[in-house]
Amino acid sequence: MWNEGALARALLMQRGHLFPWSAVLFALGIGLYFALPAEPSAQTLGLAGVAAIGLGAVALRAGWHVAPALWAVALVAAGFAVAGARAHVVAAPVLEFRYYGAVEGRVRAIDRSASDALRLTLDEVRLERMAPGETPAKVRVALHGAQGFLDPVPGTRVILTAFLSPPQGPVEPGGFDFRRHAWFQGLGAVGYTRTPVLVLAPPSAEMAAAVARARMALSARVQDALPGEAGGFAAAVLSGDRSGIGQDTLRALRESNLAHLLAISGLHMGLLAGFVFAALRLAILALPRAGVRLPAKKLAAGGALLAAAGYLALSGGNIATERAFVMAAVALLAVMLDRRAISLRAVALAALIVLALRPEALMGPGFQMSFAATTALVAVFAALRERKGPRPPRWLAPVLAVVISSSVAGAATAPIGAAHFNQLSHFGLPANLLAVPLMGLLVIPAGVVAILLMPLGGEAVPLRAMGLGLDWILGVAHRAAGMPNAVGHVPAPPPAVLPLLALGGAFVALWRGHGRWAGLVPALVALALWTGTARPPVLVADEGALVGVMTADGRALSKERGAGFPASVWLENDGDGATRAEAVARWPEAGPVRHVWGKRHAANFEGCAPGEIVVMTERYDGPAQPCLLLDARRLEGAGSLAIWPDPGGHIIESATLREGRRLWTPATVAEVPARLAAAQAQ
């Protein structure tokens, strides 16, 4: 029977191995903040911060059997307080209405949208008839139509005529919340333009703009020397600019589970730092006298750290690259301090730093997949290192290392990737086994040499070598993605699944002794919840732009055009591999659900029957109807909807209401319940 003595023995066994749990507990506090249905007050956040400091101070003096519990509560409180403080610190104006007119601003970043349109992120924004205090700090505009001669570079001041709107919430209740994501990016409006962008002023001379221009210049130079998809891939790896990658290639990389090779993440940063470290150490050791007298290992680690910092600056410094740099920096500093570079303590320290700087990163797939893979790899290789028994031959060790690392990282990240992206790559493991070694042996080393030789004009040869490796990787991606049944589709899991999987995985990786296998229990519960997922019978996009109804053949969509993003996400979340055209062809089977969009269809609306659901994009001012009628007035501010059958009528779930009254949700959230209640009461 479990008692105090058993608890004491269990804690005693974990002594010296509890620090990695600090990152788990800190993340738990952050997760609690984001899970709240209403924004906590400043007093609550302050009390959490004070509690964290006070409990930590007491824990420093407490006995070993009490201190872990005190630290646990302190770390959860600290994560909660840090997340809340960060949400308030990044607060910036958000557009509250649809805007059409002149937009002036400075180009901050350039990328491409999902539809492959060039996209500009602008800061120092000015909008017509809007006071500076109400103007968004940053806006993002997709460029459609003929732009003529346009070569925007970061720092350039431009003016354009654009349609802007506030960042939208989830496309279905409980889905990815772009509105929250935009809040932490300081992005107050998104939109598009169909008219040419005009340059008002040349690029500014400030450091950030200069670095961004250097990044774009590097991308252009790489693509000039290495044309085609390989050149676009090389530019993405070296500078973070993905504008040279086509949608077909991106799709092939995703479906072959090789998309992680495109993002500047832990793999690239680790390979670059490792190559520079090895090269510098060999160079120092090759010196006749200095190699003996100088601490070659520490100097090489310092040089690799500088190279990693330069890579961070040159690649744009996005969140994924910042995370990768922190992980590499922790490992290199450990080498300089004569500590083990790769350990669970180092991974936990890196996670704490990343989460303290950007607690919102916890909610994204990048952080989750990166640290899941790293934790699993470190834990597995530590277990193999401690294993007693015969060792494989030396010539076989590198091959086994590649196979084990690819298998472990793939197994650790597959559930997270499936939960976020609703697909599983059936040939991801062999594709990674064929591609990842070449990335480390040829692509990254050749890229480093190309950058070093670029000031001398000697980058052509190493870039050609880099291109050979990237051509092979792209060939593997297209071949794997083109295989029959290359991708499996899975439904989106309930909200509890990922936290349970994370808890179970952390327990297996971090707990010492046979008790670690207790972590399989929450993991199995999560998988059981996932397999029992029930998808909403009816989904309604924001403002009634699209309706989706679940049928025996899958979700039926109400129209062929418009609301493309909700349409694709709904089908993905259903685990449905159908195209939009196939989903639209199912609509006659939608049953008693009607979609009335546009003024013409609204004018022809003659009423509905009891039990029907009618979604109308215009305001309805006619006589009361016996059906559930959701017109523009009742949909206003509700966001996307999920509708479930109920003996007493229908259960309507609003994405806005599910988000709750948070900093990033609109002020009109208080009016939504009455509007939806009125729709059901008619």
- CA-to-CA distance for 471 and 345, rounded, in angstroms? 38
- Residue 315: what pLDDT? 73
Are residues 200 and 159 in contact, defined by beta-carbon separation less than 8 angstroms? yes
> Has residue 213 got a pLDDT over 50?
yes
Question: Who contacts 201 (Cβ-Cβ below 8 Å, separation ≥6)?
Answer: 156, 157
Token pair for 22: 């600090």
Are residues 558 and 587 in contact, defined by beta-carbon separation less than 8 angstroms? yes
> For the ranges 41-55, 165-179, 198-212, which has the lowest average pLDDT?
198-212
Question: Who contacts 38 (Cβ-Cβ below 8 Å, separation ≥6)?
Answer: 660, 661, 662
β partners of residue 139: 122, 189
Confidence of residue 266 (pLDDT cuts 50, 70, 90): low
DSSP assignment of 104-137 equals: EEEEEEEEE-TTS-EEEEEEEEEETT--GGGS-S
CA distances from 575 to 76, 309, 481, 549, 645 (A): 35, 40, 18, 14, 22
Q: Which has the closest alpha carbon to 123: 665, 99, 207, 132?
A: 132
Confidence of residue 117 (pLDDT cuts 50, 70, 90): confident
> For the ranges 75-89, 124-138, 303-317, 451-465, which has the lowest average pLDDT?
303-317
Highest mean pLDDT among 109-118, 397-406, 648-657: 648-657
> Has residue 1 got a pLDDT over 60?
no
- CA-to-CA distance for 456 and 472, rounded, in angstroms? 28
Are residues 314 and 321 in contact, defined by beta-carbon separation less than 8 angstroms? no
User: Tokens 């064929």 label which residue?
Assistant: 434
Q: What is the pLDDT of residues 583-594, one digit of tens each?
A: 999 998 777 899
> Has residue 223 got a pLDDT over 80?
yes
Q: Which has the closest alpha carbon to 100: 125, 70, 129, 73?
A: 129
Q: What is the pLDDT of residues 66-95, one digit of tens each?
A: 888 899 999 999 999 999 999 999 999 999
Q: What is the pLDDT of residues 503-553, one digit of tens each?
A: 999 999 888 878 888 999 999 999 999 998 889 999 999 999 999 999 999
Tell me, yes or no, if the pTM score tops 0.85: yes
Q: What is the pLDDT of residues 6-33, one digit of tens each?
A: 655 666 666 667 889 999 999 999 999 9
pLDDT cut 70: percent of the chain above it: 93
- For residue 616, give the H/E element and its range: strand 613-616
Are residues 627 and 521 in contact, defined by beta-carbon separation less than 8 angstroms? no
Q: Which has the closest alpha carbon to 171: 482, 506, 573?
A: 573
Q: Is 276 helix (H, G, I), strand (E, B) or coil?
A: helix
Q: Which has the closest alpha carbon to 121: 102, 107, 100?
A: 107
Produce one character per residue of 320-356: b if its CB has 16 or more CB atoms within 10 Å, e if not: bbbbbbbbbbbbbbbbbeeeebbbbbbbbbbbbbbbe
- Residue 89: what pLDDT? 95
Q: How many C-beta atoms lie closer than 10 Å to residue 417's C-beta? A: 22
* CATH number of this structure's domain 99-204, picked from the four choices 3.30.160, 3.30.450, 2.30.29, 2.40.50: 2.40.50
- Residue 2: what pLDDT? 46
Q: Determine the residue type at 424.
A: L
> Has residue 446 got a pLDDT over 80?
yes
- Residue 6: what pLDDT? 61
CA distances from 181 to 169, 176, 564, 627 (A): 9, 9, 20, 36
Confidence of residue 271 (pLDDT cuts 50, 70, 90): confident
User: Tokens 């910036």 label which residue?
Assistant: 92
State residue 49 phi and psi, 5-degree precision: -65, -45
Which runs of E-coded beta strand occur in 450-596? 487-489, 538-540, 547-551, 554-557, 593-596
**Residue 258 DSSP code:** -
> Has residue 242 got a pLDDT over 50?
yes
> For the ranges 169-183, 326-340, 378-392, 571-585, which has the lowest average pLDDT?
378-392
> For the ranges 147-161, 363-377, 447-461, 483-497, which has the lowest average pLDDT?
147-161
State residue 13 phi and psi, 5-degree precision: -65, -30
Q: Determine the residue type at 313.
A: A
Q: Is 638 helix (H, G, I), strand (E, B) or coil?
A: coil
> Has residue 648 got a pLDDT over 70?
yes
When the pLDDT of each residue in the chain is averaged and rounded to a whole number, the result is: 86
